[in-house]
Structure formats: structure tokens, C-alpha cells
Structure 1
Amino acid sequence: MHRRTTFDDDAERYARTRPTYPAALFDAFADAAGLRNGSRVLEVAPGTGQATVSMAERGWSVTAVELGAQMAALARRTVGAVPGAQVEVVVSPFEDWPLPADPFDAVLCATAWHWLDPAVRARKAAAALRPGGVLAVVWSSHVAGGSQEFFDAASACWERFGQRGRNGGTRFTLTPETEVSPTTAEFERHDAFTEVSHQGFPVEVEYSTDQYLDLISTYSQVAVLEPEAREGLLACLGDLADRRFGGRIRHRYLFQVVLARTRQR
């Protein structure tokens, strides 16, 4: 679990580079959970507050439980700029955090569910919800598209510096978005949940070379590389972006939200 703590080491860079979630995703979440002004939402692992801000702007009352102290401090500053924000940011591993007596209308975990203890996460999220409340788990995938020729050529850089995938392929080989499906089985087989569904929201972001290298530096598998390998990887990618692609890279993401409702008791 060491890699889940690496983000806290460079919270400012994380906040600066990570893409924000599309508004349509929160529309889908609100529709599914019946959220309105003042609805109580528990956010698990908010990071620097990208999703927290969007929820605060909608008038929801948010309790955000964040593992990293630096991430939490930055999230507090970020949501503090939202007029009338009703947000409390708590520093704690979600697994250890004592649930309040009053249940929440909804629980959201954006791009962090995989870092939580599988033996605890679904059970505890269900316990935090009122009957009929909704859990939303957001997955972020790098998908084919954008500057595809760059990513194809970049495979040699990733492979050269030891970044290979589980099946021997290059770690950042990009899959077409039509072939990407979020994992729903965990919620479909859990006794507490029903009405499991998912929706996808593609987003394309353009980066300068420096911005793209900044982004790559926040990935946990890059952060844990030995300094020489990390510098070599970034130099290889930067040279490729500048020399062959004019210093502009378009990166395509697919955000998918899995929605699961707690059973009426």
C-alpha cells in the first residue's frame, strides 16, 4: 500500500496537473442519488479536492476523509474559495475513520477506490449510507485517441525504463474506450447493494511538454522509480514530445462512474 501515500509528497503538483471531472458525471450522480442543496455526501479519498469543489458548488454538505495531510490541507484551501461551501475535510485512512451516527445520502470515491482495503471498502461505504442511498465510484482510464502517434512512440521510453504491464506489454499502451469497462462485480455480489449501473464520460486535454511531464511525475509508478530512472523516463518523453510533436500533446481520458444503491431495510 506504500504507493497510495506517494501522492501526498507532491500535493501541489497533483492539484495543478490532474484533470478535473466533467460536470455531466456529477449530474448523473445527483440524478441517481436524488441529491439537492444540503444533501449529505461522504467523499472518500478526495485528494486535493477536484471532485469536492464540484460538489460544494452544487450546495451539497460534504464530509471528505483524506489519508494525506498535505492533500487535505490543499483541499481545504481549494474548497474555501467556494462561496457558502459546506465542507469538512478530515485527515484519516477511510478504513480507520469512525462513521458518524447520522447516515449519508450518498458516498463518492473518485479515482481512489483501488487504493482502499478490499476487505473493508464496500462494507464500510454501505454502512455509511441511509437505506436507498447511493455509492458512486469513479474510475479514470487513459484511452486511445488524442495524440495517438505520440503514445505509440512513447512506448519505447516506458519500456526502456522498466515500465512494463502485467502481460508483458508496455504499461501505457492505450485501449479503445469502447473496450474499457469498470468493475461492477464487487457491488453486484455484495448483499448491501442493488441497482448497479455505470456511465462513461470521455474528456480530452491538451498539454504542453512541460505540463505533460508534470502530469506524468504525479503517477505513483513514476514517483517510486529510482531518481536516475525517473529522470531518464521524463527526458525521453520530453525529447519525443518536443522533437516530433511540436511540444503539444492531447491526452484522452475516460471517466466512468459506477453507481450502486443500498437496499431499503
Structure 2
Amino acid sequence: MPTIPPGPPRPSENEPHRHRQIAESFGADPELYDRTRPHYPVAMVEAIVTASPGLDVVDVGCGTGISSRQFQAAGCRVLGVEVDARMAAFARKTGVEVEVSAFEAWDPGGRTFDAVVAGQTWHWVDPVAGATKAAQVLKPGGRLATFWYVAQPPAELADAFGAVYRRVLPEAPMVKSSMSPLEGYSVMFRKAADGIREAGGFGEPEEWRFDWEHSYTRDAWLEQVPTAGGLSRFPREKLAELLADMGAAIDAVGGAFTMRYATVVVTAPRTT
């Protein structure tokens, strides 16, 4: 697996982890989030478990327990750490043990683990403080594995969706970048790797990639859209307009489409 070269110095302001109001907006509708958000490739879960020395796992920002349940299905004993009590309560109902805390401030009570994982959440954690905490709770040889899935719609829909966002919600976070989705996420990958290096106690970070596809009907995609970061904070009428225009774009290509996903893992073993 390729290693990740060091990036430029991290900016001191406007980091995602500094915007807690967005990070804690996902719990507005935990049931919708859990029902519509994609799961992670089984091959990714198996790769992380295989590369870890045992089966005791901490899931950082476990949310409703989507990734936690996948690691449980792979035979792991999972403890979730989740900042949003609403998401934590939902996860507990699905059989996941959860402690409510920001990971940087979490007290592990002397417990140690074989893996610290974080699905679609590590950008809400201070990358250095988070890696430092992970090093503290990992057993020697234990693995930190942060991962994200990057949605890459067909070109015609990518253009149409971008136009809708610019027209309806020009202030939305996804409008402010001119980069492709994978390019935008690569900034997060590099920050995660640089945070691991700066924290110390880990081997050189590696990047693992798993490509997959998922087909969506118009309604299935529109149901998921409001779970995106920060969208629940916009007025309902704006969100309704956004969904109506996105629905029209999907109708124009036949009412369904196939989304390509790249799930990327930034990972390193604890060495000291």
C-alpha cells in the first residue's frame, strides 16, 4: 500500500474540527442517517481487522453505529466514542456500546485496544490531538485506521448537482471548493497522515483504497442528501428547493443512476 508524503503546514484556522456546530448537526434525525448512509466495503473492514493484533476496537465518532456494527460482524468487540448523545442513544439501540465524549477529551480509564477506527469522522477531530489519544490507548502494534468514502457521481449529474448547489445554497460547504470530490478529500487524507506523524509513536502512514459502486433511485438519493454535513442547518424551504431541483436532474437521466465510491483508509501501526 502506498505511503502518504508529508503535506504543507496545516492552516491554523477554519479546520473542520473547529466547527463543532456542524460536527454535531448530524444527530438531527439519527434514524434517517442510519437508514440512508452507505456502509463500508467488507474488504476494507477485513483488511483493518487482519492488520490489527486483536479484536478490541474503538470506533471514533461512531454515530448511529454503522461502522461499529460492521466491525462487530467481523468478530470485533467494539466500543463507540460519540460526541452527540442523540446518535449515541440510537447506536445503543442497535447493540453498540457507546460512551459520549469528544475523542480528544475521552477518558479511556486505563483500557487499551487493538485498533482505533474512525469512519467519515476524523476531520471533525483535531488531527494531532486525536492521533496522540489513539497512541495512548492502542496496544503495541495496534492500528489507527481513519477512513472516508468519496462519492463520485456520473459526469452529467456532477455538473447538474453542482449547478443546483450554487444556485440554491451558494453558502453550503460543498460549493466553496473548485476541486473534484476525490481532490477535496485528499486534503483530509494528508492532514490525517501529517497529524499521525506529528503525534509520534506510529509507523509511516499508508493509504489503502477500495473502489465500489451503488445504484440509487431518485427517491433513495434525495432521502440521503439532507444527512450531508451542515445541510440540516439551512431553512427548510431552501432544502426543499434543493431536493426538487436535484430530483429534476435525476429524472432527466432516467430517474436512477450509479454512484461510484472510493473508500480511502489512512492508517498506521503504533510502534512505541
User: Shorter-normalised TM-score: what interval?
Assistant: 0.7 to 0.9
Quote the sequence identity (%).
Answer: 34
The answer as to 2:153 corresponding to 1:137 is no
Q: Which residue pairs with 2:65 in the alignment?
A: 49
Alpha-carbon distance between aligned partners in 2 of 1:238 and 1:254, rounded to the nearest angstrom: 24
- Secondary structure (helix, strand or coil) at the match of 1:134 reads strand
The answer as to 2:215 corresponding to 1:196 is no
TM-score normalized with structure 1 length: 0.85
Per-residue CA deviation, residues 145-176 of structure 1 (Å, 9 max, x unaligned), is x5331222222111102146445x3x8x5458
Q: Which residue pairs with 2:134 in the alignment?
A: 125
Total equivalences in the alignment: 247
- Secondary structure (helix, strand or coil) at the match of 1:194 reads coil
The answer as to 2:77 corresponding to 1:70 is no
Alpha-carbon distance between aligned partners in 1 of 2:220 and 2:83, rounded to the nearest angstrom: 26
Alpha-carbon distance between aligned partners in 1 of 2:128 and 2:202, rounded to the nearest angstrom: 16
The answer as to 2:123 corresponding to 1:104 is no
Alpha-carbon distance between aligned partners in 1 of 2:150 and 2:131, rounded to the nearest angstrom: 21
Q: Which residue pairs with 2:123 in the alignment?
A: 114
Alpha-carbon distance between aligned partners in 2 of 1:100 and 1:252, rounded to the nearest angstrom: 41
The answer as to 2:35 corresponding to 1:16 is yes
1:218 is displaced (CA, Å) by: 0.5
Q: Which residue pairs with 1:32 in the alignment?
A: 51
Q: 1:18 to 1:147 in 2, by over 3 A?
A: same
**AA at the equivalent of 2:71:** M
Q: Which runs of 5+ in 1 are unaligned?
A: 81-86
Q: Which runs of 4+ in 1 moved over 4 A?
A: 173-177
Q: Which residue pairs with 1:148 in the alignment?
A: 155
Alpha-carbon distance between aligned partners in 2 of 1:174 and 1:133, rounded to the nearest angstrom: 30
Q: 1:61 to 1:12 in 2, by over 3 A?
A: same
Identify the range of structure 1 (117-126 vs 55-64) with the bigger mean alpha-carbon deviation.
117-126
Q: Choose which of 215, 218, 223 in structure 2 pairs with 1:214.
A: 223
**AA at the equivalent of 2:89:** A
- 2:25, 2:229 within 8 Å by CA — same for their partners in 1? yes
Q: Which runs of 5+ in 2 are unaligned?
A: 1-19
**AA at the equivalent of 2:36:** T
Alpha-carbon distance between aligned partners in 2 of 1:88 and 1:16, rounded to the nearest angstrom: 19
Per-residue CA deviation, residues 62-105 of structure 1 (Å, 9 max, x unaligned), is 11111122211221222x3xxxxxx5212222222211213111
Q: Which residue pairs with 2:102 in the alignment?
A: 93
Q: Choose which of 214, 221, 228 in structure 2 pairs with 1:205.
A: 214
Alpha-carbon distance between aligned partners in 1 of 2:221 and 2:161, rounded to the nearest angstrom: 12
- Secondary structure (helix, strand or coil) at the match of 1:120 reads helix
